[in-house]
Structure 1
Amino acid sequence: MWIDNLAPDVQEYFLFVPNTVNSRDPIKAANIRPVAKTLN
């Protein structure tokens, strides 16, 4: 995934999301890919 296509504040959010330990990740790469592909 190309995180550099996202706005800087969105990049920072994803870089500092804490690791999950007890369940599945709330954010899935498949959900983020369409946003990362969108260029303004």
Structure 2
Amino acid sequence: FADLKWGLVPSWANDPSIGHKLINAQSETVAEKASFRHAFK
């Protein structure tokens, strides 16, 4: 077994290590949040 880490790293992120923090998007606001807007299109 191996540990896996995943997440979404926005194009505007200065530090790619924030990707593990962006694993959950709410359907009500996914189109409005800068973190998920581009991926949602």
Q: Same fold (TM over 0.5)?
A: no
Q: Using structure 2 for the length normalisation, give the TM-score.
A: 0.25
Higher relative contact order (CA 8 A, sep 6+): 1
Q: Using structure 1 for the length normalisation, give the TM-score.
A: 0.25
